[in-house]
Amino acid sequence: SEVKKIAVIAGDGIGPEVVAEAEKVLKATEEVFGYKFETEHALFGGIAIDEKGTPLPEETLEVCKRADAVLLGAVGGPKWDTNPKELRPETGLLGIRKALGLFSNLRPAVVFDCLKDASTLKPEVLEGTDLIVVRELTGGIYFGEKFRRPSEQGEEAVDTCAYNVAEVERIARQAFEIASKRRGKLASVDKANVLETSRLWREVVIRVSADYPNVELEHVLVDNCAMQLLRRPSSFDVIVTENMFGDILSDEAAMLTGSIGMLASASLGEGSYGLYEPVHGSAPDIAGQGLANPIATILSLALMFRLTFGYEDAAAAIEAAVAQVLDAGHRTSDIAVDKSKAISTSEMGDLIVAAI
Amino acid sequence: SEVKKIAVIAGDGIGPEVVAEAEKVLKATEEVFGYKFETEHALFGGIAIDEKGTPLPEETLEVCKRADAVLLGAVGGPKWDTNPKELRPETGLLGIRKALGLFSNLRPAVVFDCLKDASTLKPEVLEGTDLIVVRELTGGIYFGEKFRRPSEQGEEAVDTCAYNVAEVERIARQAFEIASKRRGKLASVDKANVLETSRLWREVVIRVSADYPNVELEHVLVDNCAMQLLRRPSSFDVIVTENMFGDILSDEAAMLTGSIGMLASASLGEGSYGLYEPVHGSAPDIAGQGLANPIATILSLALMFRLTFGYEDAAAAIEAAVAQVLDAGHRTSDIAVDKSKAISTSEMGDLIVAAI
Ligand SMILES: CC(C)[C@H](C(=O)O)[C@@H](O)C(=O)O
Ligand SMILES: CC(C)[C@H](C(=O)O)[C@@H](O)C(=O)O
């Protein structure tokens, strides 16, 4: 079969360690399923600031653009936190999203059986929670005009939040598509009682809903959604919302599952192109010690196989292998009850490879 | 002592019922403590739309302005939800905040012993949770310029978020004051890695912190805060944040206590003026049936005594009376384990009055 090109961005902190394990898994699926991949590594985030003087070097963007998909570890760390804006890893993150047109961020929040007790929620509340947050990723207040100006009350800072019909329509359509392939329920989250962008959002979502008569649509105000996620997490199927609300709600949703160290995410553009990364951060405190859990990154690779390449067999095999290794009781230290029995990052990767 | 004027706004749904009980408590404290109050009722919200054609009639604003404090029940309901913007209860709410200069919204989130099990969080996680969200209430994206304009990608909607130094400074100062009288910990929540308003926010908060060396300040990004509230709620003391983030986080914080039906809030301006209201909404589904729990409104009155009038004795007496009635096992149906033993709204009010 055709050779698929994957841009691999290890990034900072535990990024390189977890990405290395995902690359082992990539190799294993080539052997088992006969798929062919070509990987190309690129610098991004803090390490790119250190080595190239910018979080998103032009050549990294080139590598990503000539690839079919991107696998990203994690970026950032205290070392760059006080840098000026242009020299911060986050700036690279916003830049890559915009440059690659990744307008949609999918964050499944599921509960792993072996981590049920890790949640701060009661097990009976969590029972059956399996939702996905579809977050608009290249619009809204993140990318609107920002400036300062003098005012009579001291300096004034301004951020602008804007959405046009086309931007809302494409993300809404994608959320309806996803919902129609799941349990057929879509919660559109906005603040239509206050914001003009939310009123436009709601109008467009309602218009798009006409094409999806089998998807049950509800509109939830963002403050209410923050509450309902806590009160009835299992009642949500797909949640679609704008960039800033999605940032907050997807983190809340991920945390309530207790499984944040195991969650994968996909950022998609037009067509099948996508960037895949674990939900967790770069965890600089445990970097380089073989303590990191590579499962979220490995599951992000599985998501890439499913969503970008349509390699459902390989995706399912990876997910089954992860489940099998966990069922056999193997744990990295972040998820081990008995830390003394914890295995290392590479041992976990090897076990998953063996199970494929 | 001096006669204090209280504007009483019953509002919609269960508003009139719960406010009626708070007025009984008001009378009782007059008798017991010798304070003198004069109340003046005013129309606001849905009922004002129905009777006066506007959610915030000019005369209501006059009543509020000549009072020393405002007691508000609740506003809104499905009846007005599809009205145009100028004829919606929320518009009245935003209008009254701005007109009365109520720039600071205090929302204590505490766990009531009798409601510990009502939370969806595990009791051991919730243990010791006692925090207060200080939300900026008259700035940010709520009050910025809003408009639509044509674009090549269909109509575009715009909301503007602005903050000036003076606006941030007054709310920061108030949060530091509150923290210095509590456990001395302040979490300032922003999105300084993305927003210009958040960068200004952080600069000003840091500057103000120099005047409060005994308050320990941490900066928390809003997405991380949504997670940490779930992971370690008891570690927060005071949280200060801008209007939109505060809307979301204060609802999340209230819900995780499991006590949302019992929580009071205060919206303060310059000086001692304040508007006091329960955190819960107008609950139109149970209105007029004597099922509503008046405790959140009664505790809002206690907050008024403490914060606006400095009547600490009366405030403490009300809080003690509420605790005593709950300890004796009396419950309205929302908090009753055995619903058949639930007492009515007015029975609850009478018991609290008797206990004062
Ligand atoms: C690092 C930050 C800019 C980013 C965001 O807010 O989008 C992060 O929180 C995320 O959710 O990917
Ligand atoms: C009704 C709405 C406009 C209001 C707000 O967002 O401020 C409400 O959610 C609140 O928190 O008081």
What confidence tens digit (pLDDT) does each residue in B160-180 have?
999 999 999 999 999 999 999
What would the two tokens of residue B296 be?
A: 């959140």
Residue B231, annotated ligand binder? no
Q: Residue A94: closest CA among chain B residues belongs to which residue?
A: B194
Residue B174 in tokens: 């108030």
A27, A45, A46, A47: which is closest to A37 by C-alpha?
A27
Half-sphere exposure of B257 (CA within 13 A, CB side): 27
Give the 3-state secondary structure percentages of chain A, helix then strand then coil, rounded to 5.
50, 20, 30
Spatial CB neighbours of B86, under 8 Å, sequence gap ≥ 6: B54
The one catalytic residue in A142, A163, A273, A276 is A142
Let me know if B261 is exposed, middle or buried by CB neighbors in 10 A (0-12, 13-18, 19+): buried
**Any ligand 2 atom below 6 A from CB of A223:** yes
Among A202-211, B25-34, B171-180, B333-342, the minimum mean pLDDT is found in B333-342
Q: What CATH number has the domain spanning B104-262?
A: 3.40.718.10
| pLDDT for residue B60 | 98
Cβ separation of B157 and A248 shorter than 8 Å? no
Pick the atom of ligand 2 nearest to A221's CA. 9
List, for residues B189-224, the tens digit of each pLDDT value: 999 999 999 999 999 999 999 999 999 999 999 999
Quote the tokens at residue B189: 């929540």
* Contacts A161 to B, Cβ<8 Å: 141, 158-161
Query: Is the pLDDT score of A116 beyond 90?
Result: no
pLDDT of residue A148: 98
Q: What is the token pair recorded at B286? A: 């149970």
Q: Which of A36, A223, A339, A341 is the catalytic position?
A: A223
- Whether the CB of A62 sits within 6 Å of ligand 2: no
Mean pLDDT of all residues belonging to chain A: 96
Measured in Å, residue A222 CA sits from the centre of ligand 1 at: 18
Mutate to test the pocket of ligand 1, among A135, A247, A267 (most ligand atoms within 8 A of CB): A247
- Return residue ranges of chain B for CATH 3.40.718.10: 1-102+269-356, 104-262
CA gap B159, B148 in Å, rounded? 9
Query: Which of the following is catalytic: A191, A212, A237, A311?
Result: A191
Residues of B in contact with A235 (CB under 8 A): none
Backbone angles phi, psi at B79, to 5 degrees: -55, -35
**Which residue has its alpha carbon closest to ligand 1 atom 5?**
A247
Determine the atom of ligand 1 nearest the C-alpha atom of A97: 7
Q: Quote the mean pLDDT of chain B.
A: 96
Residue with more model confidence, A98 or A338: A98
The CATH fold of domain B1-102+269-356: Isopropylmalate Dehydrogenase (3.40.718)
pLDDT for res B94: 97
pLDDT level of residue B8 (50, 70, 90 thresholds): very high
A81: closest chain B residue by CA: B193
Instruction: Provide the number of CB pairs (under 8 Å) joining chain A to chain B.
Output: 176
Q: Tell if the CB–CB gap between A226 and B223 is shorter than 8 Å.
A: no
**DSSP annotation string for A289-329:** TT----HHHHHHHHHHIIIII--HHHHHHHHHHHHHHHHTT
Mean predicted confidence (pLDDT) in B71-90: 94
Residues of B serving a catalytic function are 142, 191, 223, 247, 251
- Stretch A112-127: mean pLDDT: 91
Ligand 1 atom 3 nearest Cα: A90
| B contacts of A195 (beta carbons < 8 Å) | 141, 146, 159
How does B274-295 read in b/e, with b if 16+ C-beta sit within 10 Å? Answer: bbbbbbbbbbbebbeeebbbbb
User: Is residue B348 within 8 Å of residue B325, measured between CB atoms?
Assistant: yes
Taking contacts as CB-CB distances below 8 angstroms, the residues of chain A near B254 are: 227
Which residue's CA is minimally distant from atom 2 of ligand 2? B90
Closest among B273, B217, B223 to B97, alpha carbons compared: B273
- pLDDT at position B12 over 80: yes
Q: Is B304 in a helix, a strand, or coil? A: helix
pLDDT digits (tens, 9 = 90+) for A160-185: 999 999 999 999 999 999 999 999 99
Q: Is the dihedral of CA A154, A160, A161, A165 positive or negative?
A: positive
pLDDT tens digits, one per residue of A11-58: 999 999 999 999 999 999 999 999 999 999 999 999 999 999 999 999
Residues paired with B218 in a beta bridge = B187
pLDDT band at B113 (very low <50, low <70, confident <90, very high): confident
Average pLDDT score over residue span A290-319 = 97
Q: What pLDDT does residue A115 have? A: 87
Higher pLDDT, A70 or A1: A70
Please say if the pLDDT value at position B1 is more than 90. Answer: no
- Does the C-beta of B223 come closer than 6 Å to ligand 1? yes
